[in-house]
Amino acid sequence: MILCRGNPGEEMKRRRFLLLAAAAAALSVASQVASAEIYPSRPVSVIVPVPAGGQMDSIARIVTERMRRRLGQPMIVENVTGASGTIGVGRVARATADGYTLLYGAWATQVVNGAVYDLPYDLIHDFEAIALTSITPWLIAAKYAVPANDLRELITWLKANPDKASAGTSGAGGPGHIGGVLFQKLSGTRFQFVPYRGMTPAMQDLISGQIDLMIADPASAIPQFRAGRIKVFAVTAKTRLAAVPEIPTVDEAGVSGYYLAPWHAIWAPRGTPDAIIRQLNAAVVDASADPAVRQRLVILGSDTPAREQQTPEALRAFHEAEIQKWWPIIKAAKIRAE
């Protein structure tokens, strides 16, 4: 009987092909592992969803410039503006989860926008938390002619003149507006809101006496307070602000629990590997521990978060708590995007 066997040459070619395919697959896996191990191997893009030149943009550049020392690659800030920051945030939500596109977000973009816009992304689940970078308590300020020398006297004056006083804001849904709504609720006062196109024109009218009060950011208020052009009654936080340690907290001044401290933090797209998140977190912590960085934030009226506040887990919990706190207040006041 004759047995038919395959061509030995063809069998050798088949085995050689399988060996080469297996080697190529192994090389591809090894290349991917090596690439992950040396992250970052190229510049990292940091999306800042507000225009260049303001406090948020300034702090983003200070922090990310210091991060490059640990990461060994440039951190390139890109200002992607529009629709109160939703365009820039949305771009990061859709980005590849490889650690090369990050979001430098804020209380306004990561909390307030969720209550005033119908967003095409989920503020919690579409991003990986990296670290909190700065906290900026705001100030309760008034024109110099207001007949009050402390916060309790201001509240007494407002109660004696319901709906007669005016408070300047940077627009509907801004920190000054939302903070003013909460202040009315906690103090039992009523006053009118006057929206402006930014904090600068609002502060100018406070100085000239065209409006009576403001819940103001430190960068706008502190220089005018130092110059004796306005009064500042309290810091909206549990601790005093390093830039103006003589100003009491709201607890000390008479409105216990009135806390308004807009903050900044860094996120990555959902699905970014945990090893990359940890590397980026370590770079933020390293930057925040730099005395020069901390001092530059103080000059801008901001505080550096405590070390225990800077883990990814702490940011995630803090972010969720801020949404739970502020969304009911914003929605109850029927604040919507303009």
**What burial letters (b/e) apply to 234-268, b meaning 16+ CB within 10 Å?**
bbbbeebbebbeebbbbbebbbeebbbbbbbbbbb
Handedness of CA 123, 129, 133, 139 (dihedral sign): positive
Which of the four pLDDT bands, split at 50, 70 and 90, describes residue 336?
A: confident
Domains and CATH numbers, the chain: 44-136+262-332 (3.40.190.150), 139-253 (3.40.190.10)
Contact yes or no for 156/146 (Cβ under 8 A) = no
Angle at 228 between CA 224 and CA 233, to 5 degrees: 80
Rounded Cα gap, residues 91 and 102, in angstroms:
10
Residue with tokens 């507000």: 50
Rounded Cα gap, residues 278 and 142, in angstroms:
44
Q: What is the pLDDT of residues 228-274, one digit of tens each?
A: 999 999 999 999 998 899 999 999 999 999 999 999 999 999 999 99
DSSP 8-state code for residue 232: E
Which of the four pLDDT bands, split at 50, 70 and 90, describes residue 69?
A: very high
Q: What is the pLDDT of residues 144-193, one digit of tens each?
A: 999 999 999 999 999 999 999 999 998 888 899 999 999 999 999 999 99
